[in-house]
Amino acid sequence: MEKAKNFIEQCQEIIGTEYVYLSDADKSPFLTDWSKRFTGEALAVLRPKNTNEVAALVALCHSENIAIVPQGGNTGLCGGATPSKNSHCVVISTSRLNHIRELDLENSTITLDAGVVLMNAQEAAVKAGKLFPLSLAAEGSCTIGGNLSTNAGGVQVLRYGNMRDLCLGIELVTPTGEIFNGLRGLRKDNTGYSLKDLYIGAEGSLGIITAATLKLYPLPKSKVTALVSIQSVRAGIQLIDLARESSNADLTAFELISTRALRLVAKRAKNIGSFSSTESDWVVLLEFSSMEAENINRERLENLLGRALELELISDAVIANSIQQSKDLWSIREGIPEAQFELGTVIKHDISLPISQIASFVEATEVKLQQLWPKMQTIIFGHVGDGNLHYNLAPLSPNLSNDIEERRNSINQLVHDQVYAHLGSFSAEHGIGQSKRDELPLRKSNVEMELMRSIKKALDPKNIMNPGKVL
């Protein structure tokens, strides 16, 4: 008890008493993940304001053998930023590391703290006449550090790539409290191992990312958005090919949405016309971003949809006529994750597949799920342009939530078996965290697992960085 008290007092000396949360009420928001599936315990929640304070806290934890759970916006879905129960740990929140350090417009880069909210990074870029393209539903609360730690993707991966592609350099604190300053705005730096790539996607298990230098892009001069009713998933895949042939560089997003998912938000959605009652099981939300004038960009999209109609790939389409209408169409996609909880317990899957395998996966898995338990329904949406599907299962009625929860393990196994049978991955952009940790060794080879364990042991021999996550 005395040792713990002394530790807390040292934390208070480093960052100030007001930023060391000790009461249950103060700690509570940091101890449960967004999905509400994982809740843990911590000695304290620590909120440092800069990298030096993070380093001092980590060095103290290292000397006292106290585990650390790094946390950004706490928007994760796999328990990766949530402490375990009965854990001798602290949560280090990066929420006060929220400064934009530099905008280098000639180099098209932005350097910023890990605790900067994604939306604020986007807005800072726009004010400077640039684009930071990462965009996802949680952008109003997720942080850059969390995005890096899970290698987040979002809706524009098709054109710009995920966070690993967008990041040129990072600053981080090692498990011993040393600071690695790798904030280089270089697009070519072939001087040994790519250290930043070890930490991107590592979910805080190797160190704490405190800042990053990220790529910026020119702001598109025009954007055109369309919601399209397609005949089938296979037709959607053909539509991707058509879109790439007609305007590969300008195809920014291509989101597949099942009609079941669409109808969850139909009552509050605008500008979807007859789509809420369409007979098709699928729609696509696609967007062209161009450096050309809007009329040219729009004409290109209209020509694409005209060809798709002739080929009987689509049956209906609505093209946004204004910025507001475009926002309305995107609000459909962004509203699905939360709206689906109206169905009761939802079992989420964040999967990745070769685009050529998506249609056969969807068809085969639907049949097998119905055989397993016919009282559930699939809610499917995602970035099909890069092969990432959010493949979720819900009961036909909310009062069957307990029944689907009892089947969670068998459902997960069936879906994941199907994913790997179709050459995919059971984690596309949400990470491993706690929820997929035990299954990871079953999906990766012994060689892969041993390489990962070797890296973890070499960089964090005391296993204080986010223990119980990933490995």
Dump pLDDT digits (tens) for 391-419. Answer: 999 999 999 999 999 999 999 999 999 99
Topology given in CATH for the domain delimited by 344-431: Alpha-Beta Plaits (3.30.70)
302's CB contacts (< 8 A; 6+ apart) are 319
Q: Hey, which CATH number is domain 222-340, 3.30.70.2190, 3.40.50.300, 3.40.50.970, 3.40.630.10?
A: 3.30.70.2190
C-beta of residue 171 within 8 angstroms of C-beta of residue 97: no
Whether the pLDDT of residue 168 is over 60: the answer is yes
Mean pLDDT of 308-331: 89
Q: Strand pairing of 208-215 and 217-218?
A: unpaired
Nearest to 151 by CA among 195, 203, 187: 203
What does the block give as tokens for 353?
């597949």
Q: How far is CA 76 from CA 80, 415, 434, in A?
A: 7, 21, 11
pLDDT for the residue 272: 63
Distance (Å, rounded) from C-alpha 377 to C-alpha 370?
8
Q: Hey, which CATH number is domain 2-93, 3.40.640.10, 3.40.50.2300, 3.30.43.10, 1.10.287.130?
A: 3.30.43.10
Ranges for all domains in the chain classified under CATH 3.30.70.2190 = 222-340
Distance (Å, rounded) from C-alpha 223 to C-alpha 283?
19
Mean pLDDT of 261-274: 72
Distance (Å, rounded) from C-alpha 422 to C-alpha 356?
9
Ranges for all domains in the chain classified under CATH 3.30.43.10 = 2-93
pLDDT for the residue 2: 77
At 105, the amino acid letter reads L
pTM of the model: 0.92
Domain 100-218 -> CATH class: alpha beta
pLDDT for the residue 87: 76
pLDDT band at 101; cut points 50, 70, 90: very high
* Strand runs labelled E in 86-221: 89-93, 100-104, 109-113, 130-131, 167-173, 179-182, 208-215, 217-218
Ranges for all domains in the chain classified under CATH 3.30.70.2740 = 344-431
Q: How large is the angle between the packed helices 408-421 and 358-372, nearest 10 degrees?
A: 150
Nearest to 115 by CA among 32, 18, 19, 44: 19
In what helix (H) or strand (E) does residue 150 lie, and over which residues does it extend?
Answer: none
Q: With H, G, I as helix, E, B as strand and everything else as coil, classify residue 289.
A: strand
Per-residue pLDDT tens over the stretch 193-225? 999 999 999 999 999 999 999 999 999 999 999
Instruction: Tell me the residue length of the chain.
Output: 471
